[in-house]
Amino acid sequence: MELDELKFDEKGLIPAIAFDVASKQVCMVGYMNAEAVKRTVETGLATYWSRSRQAFWVKGETSGHTQEVQWIRLDCDGDVLLLGVKQNVAACHLGYFSCFFRKYQDGEWVTVEEPVFDPEDAYEG
């Protein structure tokens, strides 16, 4: 894969926004390094770099809630990726389809989605 046009930050990372092509919802934001981008392209499954664990992770490797990549786009500055994905079950580890399930309304954060799964069932052990 050609990575010359991607502008990684000083830590070697680029933000990657996962967008569900069916629902037209932003599912989540993760980070990728060059190897994560390559793995994503090679496997067709969204693969991110965990900044806290300092390790690769395939979205859904524990829960089964994978992101099947349909397309990848690069923003005009070359410093953000947009992944068109088929989100299986949900993206949010708290049980919501999207990590963006809260809305700022009338001076407070309000939950505007219903959970679609129980995290305790998906992340046992």
CATH number for the domain that contains residue 69: 3.10.20.810
* Domain-embedded: residue 8: no
* Domain-embedded: residue 29: yes
> What is the per-residue pLDDT for 122?
82
* Domain-embedded: residue 1: no
Q: Among 88, 93, 97, 89, which Cα is nearest to 115's? A: 97
Q: What is the pLDDT of the chain when averaged over all its residues?
A: 96
Which range marks the domain in which residue 62 is found?
A: 14-117
d(CA 44, CA 68): 6
* Domain-embedded: residue 36: yes
pTM of the model: 0.93
* Domain-embedded: residue 80: yes
The count of domains in the chain is 1
> What is the per-residue pLDDT for 125?
52
d(CA 12, CA 34): 7
* Domain-embedded: residue 95: yes
* Domain-embedded: residue 56: yes
Which segments in the chain show pLDDT lower than 70?
1, 124-125
